[in-house]
Chains A and B, each alone.
Chain A
Amino acid sequence: MRPVLPILIPLMTAVAALLAWRWRGVQRGVSLLGAVALLVAALILLASVWRDGIQVVQIGSWPAPFGITVVVDLFSAIMVALAGLMGLAVAVYSLGSMDTAREEFGYYPLLHILLMGVCGAFLTGDLFNLYVWFEVMLMASFVLLVLGGERAQIEGAIKYVTLNLMSSALLLAAVGILYGLVGTLNMADLAQKLRSAHHPGLVTTLSMLFLVAFGIKAAVFPLFFWLPASYHTPPVAVSAIFAGLLTKVGVYALIRVFTLLFRHDVGYTHTLILILAGLTMITGVLGAVAQNEFRRILSFHIVSQIGYMIMGLGLFTPLALTGSVFYITHHIIVKTNLFLISGVVNRLCGTYELKNLGGLYQAHPGLAVLFMIPALSLAGLPPLSGFWAKLTLVQAGLETEQYVIVLVALAVGVLTLLSMLKIWTEAFWKPSTRNSQPSVNRRQLVHVFFPIIVLALLTVVIGLVVQPFFVLAERAADQLINPEAYIRAVLGGTS
């Protein structure tokens, strides 16, 4: 029962919040409670997977290749735990930052439905079911994106919805063709049957369809442009959960599919992924350099960071995949935090435009320190979490003698630092140009600062006590690169 709890808890929370539609206070309480429960369930799940190995639930007692299977290996468990953590951080942050109108129009039920979709995508062991969870997640994200109905939101949403629907259609087509080819959609079963497939060329073609479909969702070059066009439009809490989790579901799906299913022609598929990774890094960071709005800069950095995660997949060695898993962990925490901080900055100064910001270091030195931690971590400065993540990937690149991608990764790191310094000098360092200070509600600030401080501390802790996190990522990567245990856990001795 443990593996399905991260799906059921958000659903129950959403139902409870829906029942309390008219009572905003109750909804807030329920949302907080549900987020705590989700995190606890996710951590227990992670611990039990660490202790007892891969866990499997055959939904409805239908045996493996026929029914829907929920599978939790370490990678899934880590992702679910991160989803729980971000869910809680954003749920707390929302209490202090979401406006009454949005709360009354179902913000909390939607937030938890979104979390359900994300957790479902991480946990499922069935390709069609994965598509369904993507849809659940997208449905909730569409509404969250336009909730409030501001002009900029609608404009961003049109691009977001169009591109994501296209990718869903591609994904569905790919799933259909794969089913026609192999006759199963259970991922473990697929992994086995694809090994002896008679049409390697067709399988490679199919893998490219999946690469495009998941690539759009993960915002990989050249299909990333929907992301910076939409992520800066909704309220910060929504931006933060999108930035932290949604593209990472795409990355998760890419890693899952290209470690479990499509590994028959690594020389072609994974080299292509590696090239895309490099281009994603470069375009993302160059886009960021050209921007002058806080959240737009951060959005472009999501794109460039996705490149690093895909880079590990492209190199396809145990160390590289360890780097990828570690990088995702680090990135989700750091990126969500940066978005949350941008919200505080907006609250204090009333704008996201860098040219209108300033003087924050003098007025709020604490906030400046809190910004510095995730910002420098994102750029990969020691001793923060980002340094170890980049170091692992660079090491893996050197090991396989892929010097070009290593150079790109290092150069992009420097450019990231530059663009973080741009935010620093513009928003925090340069003298203030404003006269009036908007009034700030102290009680709300507690809700807003609590998650930021916790996430910043976590970034420092991961940086200083790397070993346990690294070992966790290493074991997760080991399960990814040797999928026999995964297949055995799902199919048992039946095959």
Chain B
Amino acid sequence: MSLILRTATRFLLPLLLLFSLFLLLRGHNSPGGGFVGGLVAAAAFALYALAFDVATARQLLRIDPRRLIAAGLLVALGSGMAAWLARKPFMTGQWSSITLPGVGLVPLGTPLLFDLGVYLVVAGVMLTIILSLAEE
């Protein structure tokens, strides 16, 4: 693979991952969300696999993408079941807030957790497909 692509990828990978997290967090009230975020994250690793090779990309990812799917489903499921603790119907949003120094009051809710689950599932599914196809 070309030297330019490889060098660029080294810089692009962290940027893309940061961007994917930005999309995930932004998604609560604006365009964005877990789905696009997950796609961008998967694209980052796919780019890495293109620039180097699949084995290196897998090494960088460290965990099996299938585990990502399972973990994402689990997180999403947990966010729905959290409502049961408050004796509300499944998937009812639960909210609390914390005060971060320098930022102020940050509301935290289960919808974000659900989105995080979506993020992981989408990234996991895309990577499972892309990496398996690239290995053929």
Chain A: residues with CB nearer than 8 A to chain B? 1, 4, 8, 11-12, 14-16, 18-19, 21, 57-61
Contact = CB atoms under 8 A, between A and B. Distances in A.
Contact of A59 (B64, B67, B74, B90): B90
Contact of A60 (B64, B71, B90): B90
Contacts of A12: 77
Contact of A8 (B70, B77, B83, B93): B77
B69 interface: yes
B65 to A, nearest CB: 11
10 contacts: A1-B89, A8-B77, A8-B81, A12-B77, A15-B70, A18-B66, A19-B70, A59-B89, A60-B83, A61-B92
Given A1-B84, A18-B66, A21-B64, A57 B89 contact: yes
B90 A4 contact: yes
Interface of B: 64, 66-67, 69-71, 73-74, 77, 81, 83-84, 88-93
A415 B70 CA distance: 49
Given A8-B77, A15-B77, A21-B66, A60 B84 contact: no
A18 B70 contact: yes
Contacts of A8: 77, 81, 90
Q: Which 4 A-B pairs have the closest CB atoms?
A: A18-B70, A60-B91, A61-B92, A19-B70
Contacts of B71: 19
Contacts of B81: 8
A21 B69 CA distance: 11
A58 B89 contact: yes
Contacts of A58: 89
A126 to B, nearest CB: 14
A60 B89 contact: yes
A61 B88 contact: yes
Contacts of B88: 61
Nearest to A4: B90
A472 to B, nearest CB: 27
A16 B77 CA distance: 12
A59 B73 CA distance: 18
A11 B89 contact: no
A114 to B, nearest CB: 15
A15 B68 CA distance: 10
Contacts of B77: 8, 11-12, 15
A18 B91 CA distance: 23
B70 A61 contact: no
B113 to A, nearest CB: 14
A52 to B, nearest CB: 17
Contacts of A15: 70, 73-74, 77
Contacts of A19: 67, 70-71
A19 B92 CA distance: 27
Nearest to B81: A8
Nearest to B91: A60
Nearest to B67: A19
A16 B70 CA distance: 7
A329 B64 CA distance: 42
B69 A59 contact: no
B118 to A, nearest CB: 14
Contacts of B89: 1, 57-61
Given A1-B90, A8-B90, A57-B90, 5 more contacts: A4-B90, A8-B81, A11-B77, A15-B77, A58-B89
Contacts of B66: 18, 21
A409 to B, nearest CB: 42
Nearest to A1: B84
B73 A11 contact: yes
B41 to A, nearest CB: 19
A388 B50 CA distance: 64
A57 B88 CA distance: 10
B84 to A, nearest CB: 6
Contacts of A57: 89-90
A277 to B, nearest CB: 37
Contacts of B73: 11, 14-15, 18
A490 to B, nearest CB: 13
A60 B94 CA distance: 10
B79 to A, nearest CB: 11
For A14, A18, A21, the residue with the greatest tally of chain B CB atoms inside 10 Å of its CB is A18
A98 to B, nearest CB: 19
Contacts of B70: 15-16, 18-19
B16 to A, nearest CB: 26
Contacts of A1: 84, 89-90
Contacts of A18: 66-67, 69-70, 73
Contacts of B90: 1, 4, 8, 57, 59-60
A60 B93 contact: yes
A58 B90 CA distance: 8
A383 to B, nearest CB: 43
Contacts of A21: 64, 66-67
Contacts of A4: 90
A192 to B, nearest CB: 22
B112 to A, nearest CB: 15
A294 B71 CA distance: 42
A349 to B, nearest CB: 37
